[in-house]
Every structure is written in structure tokens, then in C-alpha cells.
Amino acid sequence: MKTYKSKIALFSLKKNSSDFYKVKIGSSNDAYEYISKFYGDDLEIYESFFVLLLNRNNTTIGYAKISQGGISGTVVDSRIIAKYCIDAFASSVILCHNHPSGNKNPSQNDLDITKKIQNVLTLFECKVLDHLIICEGSYLSLADDGLIS
């Protein structure tokens, strides 16, 4: 057996506490009010993508920042989202990202990544309930607009 000089990583289930409390999400507005707290003064500077993890009762159990990009986009890896869902035993998720431009209309890329994430999470019996696009003082819900099934 050949031994390499670099060490391997240790992976484990780990839960860190945060400053956020559990709440029941009953509407897109509830999700917007909760998730908008994840963003600071950077809302209009660069695009960031978050996932809100929920249990079967639509109560928040965790969240994760998936990526932070530039002014007009960020890279979203569906495998990372799946990992967080599995680690948290999430039954459903709400996706969220901001548009620094202030234009809350979804791009084709926004719709495509939503569908891709839905397909990936289906394998783990985790449902994408919504995808919010947040701008300063407002948001768009893909579920409310019939753009997510």
C-alpha cells in the first residue's frame, strides 16, 4: 500500500448554534422577513445565495450560505445544498438569493438552477418550497408567481 504525505479530511455531522431562533414559515413573506436578516450592508453590492432548511412542520432548523459572487451572479453547486439538507435531515428548503441591481425579476439562469436543485433534492425526499429573489425592501417569490412546482 502506498502512503501519501497529505492527510485526508474527517467529515462529521455537526450542528453550530446561531443568533437566529426557530420560527414556523407559513408564507413567502415569513420566509422573506427571516432570510433578509442574513444579509447585511452587502445586499446591493454582490450576489449571495442561501438555503433555509425546514422540518416537516415548516419550522426552521438551519440555514447555510452557499455562495457569494460578484455584482451580477454567483455560482451555486447543487451538491453542496444536498449535503446541507442531508446533514440537517431537512424535509424541505427555501432557496434565496439577492439581485444587487434591484431588479427582482428572475433570469433564465435563476429558473434553471431552481429546477436543477429541485431534481437533485427529490432523490433525498426533500422538497424545494420556494426560491426568493431579494432586493432592497422587496422580494419576488417564484412559488407565489407560479414559477416553481
What does the pLDDT look like over 118-145, one tens digit per residue?
999 999 999 999 999 999 999 999 999 9
pLDDT at position 146 is: 97
Output the CA torsion 44→49→53→59 (10° steps).
20
- Helix or strand holding residue 96 (H, E): strand 92-98
pLDDT at 7 over 90: no
Residues 26-48 have pLDDT tens digits of 999 999 999 999 888 888 999 99
Question: Which residues on neighbouring strands pair with residue 127, listed in sequence order?
Answer: 92
* Measured distance CA(31)–CA(18) in Å, rounded: 17
Rounded to an integer, the average pLDDT of 46-51 is 96
CB-CB contact of 131 with 110 (8 Å): yes
Q: Over the chain, what is the mean pLDDT?
A: 91
- 29 and 94 in contact (C-beta within 8 Å)? no
CB atoms within 10 A of CB 83: 14
CB 54, CB 24: distance < 8 Å: no
- Average pLDDT for residues 98-120, to the nearest whole number? 97
pLDDT bin (cut points 50, 70, 90) of residue 11 is low
Q: How would you list the strands of the sheet with 127-135, edge to edge?
A: 60-68, 48-54, 92-98, 127-135, 138-141
Enter the C-alpha cell of residue 47: 450576489
Structurally, at CATH architecture level, domain 28-141 sits in 3-Layer(aba) Sandwich (3.40)
Please state the domain extents for the chain: 28-141
